Amino acid sequence: MSAGVRRVAFVCLGNICRSPTADVVMAALLERAGVDGVSVESCGTADWHVGGPMDRRTAAVLDDAGYDPSRHRARQFGPSWFDHDLILTMDATNHADVLAMLPADRHDRVRLFRSFDPEVDRTGPIPDVPDPWSGGEAGFLEVLAIVERSCRVLLSELVETA
């Protein structure tokens, strides 16, 4: 990762499950670690939920784990997000959508979120963060586990390059 990452965006489809989970967890980790000067935000590639809160199941899992999900309001990815230093997409479709919208000279800022997952073999394809929306609580818990371990690695890399 390049030095000087100050603005991180997490991107999924509707900005109500996966990317807000990453946003809330990463913000908490940054605060607990006393890291100043790095901001995190989340958005979706679709506009279905703009202005609304995260999915209630996502909020419940975050709240049960000790995070505060209350500040989230869904937003949509667009030109105002192009200046983020690091844009982390939750799946291959989000990744392709973001690359299609971004100017070519900014493509190097986009990575799949699970490229930070310590349980992923980086010699092969990077897997998606599974979308829990159409499933039960187990899917939301799985997303939280993926996000927590990936954000811990991201945090260490942000601190190293600061």
70-127 pLDDT tens trace: 999 999 999 999 999 999 999 999 999 999 999 999 999 999 999 999 999 989 999 9
Domain map of the chain by residue range? Answer: 8-161
CATH 1.10.150.120 for domain 8-161, yes or no, is: no
pLDDT tens, residue by residue, 11-66: 999 999 999 999 999 999 999 999 999 999 999 999 999 999 999 999 999 999 99
Would you state the pLDDT for residue 162? 62
- Kind of pairing between the strands at 39-44 and 110-112: unpaired
- Sequence-distant (≥ 6) Cβ neighbours of residue 31 within 8 angstroms: none
Q: Which two tokens stand for residue 84?
A: 């983020």
Catalytic residues: 12, 18, 131
Closest by alpha carbon to 54, among 6, 20, 5, 24?
20
